[in-house]
Amino acid sequence: MAQDTLTGAFQGVVSDSQTGAAIEGATVEIINQQTGRNIQQTSDSQGRFYEGLLAPGLYTIRVAMKGYQARSVEQRLLITYAGEVVPVPVSLDPLPTGVATATPTPAPALTEEDTGIRASINRIDGRRGGSFTEEEVSRLPIGSITLVRSFDELALLLPGVSPPPETLGNVAGPGVGAGVGSAGQFSVNGMRSRSNNFTVDGSDNNDEDIGVRRQGFVALIPQPIESIKEYQAITLLAPAQFGRNIGAQVNAVSKSGGNQTHGSIYGFFNSSQLNAENVFDSSNGNAVVPLTAGNNQAVLLCPATNQTCLVNGVTSPAGGQRITVRNQSGAKDTFTFGQGGLVLGGPLVPNRLFYFLSAEGQLINGSREESFAVPTVSQRGFGNSGATGIFQNSSPVGNASVISFPTTGRADAVFSLYPFANNPAGIYGANTFTQVL
C-alpha cells in the first residue's frame, strides 16, 4: 500500500469461531456509514481480506458465508492510523445442522473504549503526538487559551507543545497573524514555529514567509472548526510518509457531505471585559511628566546661545525648556472579538456525489500595552555622564572647571533611535519605555 497522510486500510482474517480454521470465499462488505459507499471483497485461501485508500470515518464490515451465521462489525478508522493497516479479525459461528440461513447478527455499538482513549493509543511505534475525532473537535472548549476559535489550539493540549508569545489584544491564536515578535504559531519540543509542517487533507498548507498555516490569499483567516472532521499533530518521530520539517507534523481532515443533510449556524464573542487583566499590564497613569535624570532633576533643552543654561541648567533652569514624556501605561488592554459562520453538507446524488459548504467571518479590535528597555538619560553619555556631563579643567594650570558632553554625530544618531524612558515603575525600572500598540 502506498504511504500517505490521509487514508488508511483494513485487513482482516475470517475464521471459524469453533475450530479457528480460516474460511475461504467469504463475502466481505465494507460500508462507509456517512457516504454509503459499499466495497465488496472475498476472503482468500487463508481467510484474509484487504481494502486500502479508505478515508477516516466509521465503517460497517459485514461478513457472510454459506453455512455460517453472518456477522457485522463496526470499526472506526482514525486519522491516527492514516497510512497504516488496521487489523479487523472476524470469526463466524457455524449454523446448526439443517439450517441453511439465519438472520445476520447486527453490529454491536462501539463502546467508549473503542472510540476513546483506548482506540487512539499508539501500539505500533515510538511516535509521540495525538489526534482528535470529530466529536472531540466539536465539543472541546476551543478559545480558552488563545481567546479565538482555531482548531490549531488543539495542539496546545498535547505534551511538548508551548503557546506563542501573545499578540495584539492578547490574541495568541495560531493562524491569527504575525503579532508582536511572534509568528502566531506554537513551539514543539522547544523548536521554532517554522519547524512545524502544516497540511490539510494531506496537501501543503504552509506560509513560506512567516512560518504559519496558509489560510487565505491576503490574510491569515483560520479554516472554520466546523469544517474539520479530524485533527492530528505528531510531535516526535513521525513516520516516513511525513516530511519537510523536523518539528510537528500537523494534519487536518476536512468534512465532506454524506447521505444526510446536516448544517449549523454558529457565533462566538469574546471581550477584554470577560477576561482577567494581563499580569504585565501596568496601570501607572497616562500623564505627561517631566523627563528626569539619575539625580531626579529635570532634563532641559537649552539653546546653544544660552551659556548660563548650558553650564548651570541642572540647578538653574533659566532660559531652558523642560523635556516632557508621556507615560502611556494606562488601564486594561482593550479587546473585542466576533466570529460567526455556517456550514452545510448533504447529497447531490445519494451514495455517489456530495457537497459541503463552509463560510466564516471574523472581526478583531484590540490594543496591547508593550514595554521595552531603552537607555536612560545618564546612560546616553560616556561613563553614565549623559545627565551630569564630565567636569574638566579649563587649563592645565588653572582651577576653573567646565562641564563637557563629549559625543559624536554617529553616537547621537544611534541614541536618537531610542525614545526616552517614560515608565519608571515598569518592568525594566528606570529603563522602561511603555507604548500602547
For the stretch 57-83, pLDDT in tens is 899 999 999 999 999 999 888 876 666
Q: Alpha-carbon distance 305 to 214, whole Å?
A: 60
CA separation for the pair 356, 33 (Å, rounded):
17
Neighbouring-strand partners of residue 29? 40, 62
Assess contact for 247 and 195: CB atoms under 8 A. Answer: yes
Q: Tell me the three cell numbers of residue 232.
A: 492530528
Q: Do 248 and 155 touch, CB atoms closer than 8 A?
A: yes
Indicate yes or no: pTM above 0.75: no
Spatial separation of the C-alpha atoms in residues 196 and 385, rounded to whole Å: 48
Rounded to whole angstroms, what are the CA distances from 89 to 18, 102, 158?
A: 14, 21, 32
Closest to 5 (Cα-Cα) out of 193, 257, 200 = 200
Q: Which domains does the chain have, with CATH numbers?
A: 8-108 (2.60.40.1120), 128-272+337-366 (2.170.130), 288-328+369-436 (no CATH)
Q: Coil, helix or strand for 91?
A: strand
Could you tell me which residues are beta bridge partners of residue 213? Answer: 206
Spatial separation of the C-alpha atoms in residues 372 and 281, rounded to whole Å: 13
Q: Could you give the CA distance from residue 158 to residue 427 in angstroms, rounded to a whole number?
A: 32
* Residues 247 and 189 sit within 8 Å (Cβ to Cβ): yes
Query: Which residues 6+ apart lie within 8 Å of 103 measured at CB?
Result: none
Give tens-digit pLDDT for 304-356: 555 556 554 444 455 567 778 888 776 677 888 888 999 999 999 999 999 99
Q: What is the pLDDT of residues 383-417, one digit of tens each?
A: 666 666 555 555 555 555 555 566 677 877 888 88
**DSSP bridge pairs for 91:** 15
In 3-state terms, what secondary structure has residue 168?
helix
**Phi, psi for residue 335 in degrees, rounded to 5:** -165, 130
Which residues, 6 or more positions from 231, have their beta carbon under 8 angstroms from its beta carbon? 79, 131, 132, 137, 151, 154, 250, 251, 252, 253
Q: What share of the chain is helix, strand, coil (3-state, %, to 5)?
A: 10, 35, 50
Task: Region of 215 please: left (phi>0), alpha (psi -120 to 50) or beta.
Answer: alpha
What does the alpha-carbon distance between residue 126 and residue 236 come to, in Å, rounded to a whole number? Answer: 8
Q: Cell 462507509 sits at which residue?
A: 32
Q: How do the pLDDT tens digits run along the chain, 437 residues long? A: 445 677 889 999 999 999 999 999 999 999 999 999 999 999 999 999 999 989 888 999 999 999 999 999 998 888 766 667 888 999 999 988 766 555 666 656 555 444 445 555 666 677 888 889 888 888 888 877 666 778 888 888 999 998 765 544 444 444 344 333 333 478 889 887 778 888 888 888 887 766 667 655 444 556 788 999 989 899 998 888 888 888 899 988 899 999 999 999 999 898 888 877 766 666 556 677 777 766 666 777 766 555 556 554 444 455 567 778 888 776 677 888 888 999 999 999 999 999 999 998 888 887 777 788 888 887 877 766 666 655 555 555 555 555 556 667 787 788 888 888 888 777 788 888 888 77
Residues in the chain: 437
| b/e map 220-232, b = 16+ CB within 10 Å | bebbbbbbbbbbb
Contact 185, 213 (CB under 8 A): yes
> Residue 201, by phi and psi: left (phi above 0), alpha (psi -120 to 50) or beta?
left
Looking up cell 496591547, which residue turns up? 368
Taking the CB of residue 38, how many other CB atoms lie within 10 A of it? 12
Q: Is the sign of the CA dihedral 239, 242, 244, 250 positive or negative?
A: negative
